[in-house]
Structure 1
Amino acid sequence: MLVENTSNSRDNQIAMVTLAASLLGGMALGASPWGMEESLQGSWAAVPSNMLGWSYFLAWSISFYPQVFENWRRKKVDGLSADYLVYSVIGYAAYTAYTSALYFSPGVQASYMAAHAGSLPDVPLCDVLFAGHALVVSLFTLYQCYLYGGNSSGSAASSSSSSSSAAKPLLPGLSTSRACEVTAVAVLGAVAAYCGHVGSTCGLEDCEAWLPLLYFLGTTKVIMTLIKYTPQALLNHKRRSTEGWQINNVLLDLAGGVLSFAQIGLNAAARADLSVITGNPAKLGIAAISIGFDIVFILQHYVLYRGGSSASGSSSSSSSSDADSSSSEPVLARVNSSSNNIGLVRRLVRRAERVVVNAEKSGKSRT
């Protein structure tokens, strides 16, 4: 328990230091005009909003790396759900396309303004950079899961390979659940079909048709965020442990979600326009869902499964102890047998000595 408390204290300290660094970095970047939203130029909220944006960008971006380092350090990912990573990659790919189009395409921005009474999309540069960065790191973490052998939400890799109802892997060495495979294929197929339909019927400049597609991609990201945390929460519940799932990831993700909410509220107040909230449902939904599941993971780590070791770890340790005890039994038997034999020899020698002494005494008495 002392070791567990020490580990939690160290994780908390690392998270607090990282969050403080994110806030300081966000304030430094936000004080500059780089990435400042055009819709807030000249407003009292321009600099504070920019500071909040860069702060949650740093907090969210850094939050990926504790898990990457944990996987590398342990050379295994038995506490990390492969389903979670697959959903993350799909979601961030959709979100990267969504934010990039709304930020870089003048035609898409014009179409958005026509649909929202002249308001520009509430998509700052930090959102675009975060989405692209998150996609790259999620792909790398998925590669780690493939490299070290990943778990699905239902079972460990060892048990899934031996069970008749084992999950069908998307790639050799990557264990995902059947539900994940079906969902991934369905979502990717729907996105490809929608993109193909719009691309075949509209030109690149016909942005009125592309805007609904972008909303579809944003909705895809929200749905992926909604379902991606469930396999990880179920895996923690099944193992009765959060070992292998980095809590610093959760703490920084929670901080980023709160900062994102604060920026959305500040922008809406500064512009006196609720379309800032309703016009970017993807950003709002991602922040809300992330905060909700972060609270679940915090309860699992600090309350429900505090100090608990994984079921697989306990079973392996018990099996190894059983093996050690069973392997030591023949040795103990041989030692006991040898001790008994030595005692028997000693008794026989003593009896022989007594026989010899009695024989000598008998011979002397006869003479």
Structure 2
Amino acid sequence: MGSWNSISMEIIYQVLGWISIICWALASYPQVILNFRRKSVVGLSFDYVMLNCTKQSSYLIYNATLFFSSTVQRQYFDKYGYDQMIPVALSDVFFPFHSILLISVVSVQIVFFDVSAWQPESLEDIHCYLCCSMVLRSSLLFYGSANPFMALARLHIQAFLNFTRKSTVGFSIGNIVLDFTGGVGTLAQMSVQSIDQGSWVNFFGNIGKPLLALVSIGFDLIFFYQHFVLYHIKASRVSFQRDPESTEPLIKDSDHLQGIATTS
């Protein structure tokens, strides 16, 4: 296997790798905390959670196989040359494993916290949904491991839900900030390796990683626009709201509020 030409570039590679992975790992926490604080999952797409688990499971199998399996590594070298480096680091294995644990926590929250008309309403519906998602997850697992656009499927579902509700309330913007940082860090990390080796083979040899980062960054920009521009303006005109993160409908007409006060 090829070796690093510069120790400083190797250090930068490792630092950027762990920064991106830590950001991606921490990106799961804001949503968990928001759900717990609101005691509700209103605004969070169940399909988004299910497909995210499918993507992370597939990504874990993909990275762990390439990182630990000598047979797969030999196949990689046969295709790209024995002077190349394996384009997967230990941090790439840690990230999806950690994400699956956090997704399990969100799945428990889905069962026990409040839902709305945007999602299954009864506990029986949720149990049925989760069972079906497990079956679908198993059937898509190996397909997803070879298809980096699984991220595209999960992200567009949440973006469409935000568009349908005309709101991002219930979907944490904190996870998007961290996800965006992780995506940029990943592309920077792979670029550092390419510059050191004088070859861009690592991008093609692990095509799922850069495509995952690019797709995530693209949708993160959409979420930023939805949260800070498209629906933030509407939220700034709200005259009254019981709780900034409440699941109750927003009352936007001040005359309506005055009418309530008069009749009471």
The TM-score range, normalised by the shorter chain, is 0.7 to 0.9
Counterpart residue identity of residue 92, structure 1: Q
Which one-letter code corresponds to 1:130 in the other structure?
A: F
Structure-2 change in CA distance of 1:263 and 1:273 (3 Å): same
TM-superposed CA distance for 1:121, in Å, is 2.2
**Which protein has greater RCO, CA pairs closer than 8 Å, 6+ apart?**
2
Report sequence identity in percent: 28
Structure-2 change in CA distance of 1:161 and 1:136 (3 Å): closer
The answer as to whether partners of 1:81 and 1:150 remain within 8 angstroms in 2 is no
Q: Counterpart in 1 of 2:187?
A: 261
Match of 1:237 among 130, 141, 163: 163
Q: Which amino acid aligns with 2:54?
A: I
Please identify the structure whose Cα radius of gyration is greater. 1
The answer to whether structure 1 residue 104 and structure 2 residue 75 are counterparts is no
* Equivalent position of 1:148 in the other structure: 113
Partner of 1:127: 92
Answer yes or no: is 1:228 the counterpart of 2:166: no
Aligned residue number for residue 242 of structure 2: none
Task: Pick the aligned partner of 1:189 from 126, 139, 159.
Answer: 139
Counterparts of 1:149 and 1:91, CA distance in 2: 26
Name the counterpart of 2:241: none
Letter in 2 for 1:255: T
SS of the residue corresponding to residue 81 of structure 2 reads coil
Q: Give the counterpart letter for 2:118 in structure 1.
A: A
Separation in 2, partners of 1:136, 1:248: 19
Deviation at 1:171, TM superposition (A): 2.1
1:118-145 deviations in Å (ceiling 9; x for gaps)? 1232000111111111111112112212
How far apart are the structure 2 equivalents of 1:292 and 1:298? 10
The Cα shift of 1:44 comes to 3.9
Partner of 2:45: 81
1:340 corresponds to: none
**Equivalent in the alignment of 1:219:** 146
Query: 2 CA distance for matches of 1:41 and 1:126?
Result: 21
Q: Is the 8 A contact 1:78 1:244 kept in 2?
A: yes
TM-score (norm 1): 0.60
Q: Is the 8 A contact 1:80 1:244 kept in 2?
A: yes
Runs of 4 or more consecutive aligned structure 1 residues displaced over 3 Å after TM superposition: 41-44, 184-187, 315-318
Unaligned segments of structure 2, at least 5 residues: 239-244
Q: Deviations over 1:309-340 (max 9, x none)?
A: 79x7327999xx99x96xx97xx8xxxxxxxx
Partner in structure 2 of residue 272 of structure 1 = 198
Kindly state the Cα deviation for residue 188 of structure 1 after the two structures are TM-superposed: 2.8
The alignment status of 1:63 with 2:27, answered yes or no, reads yes
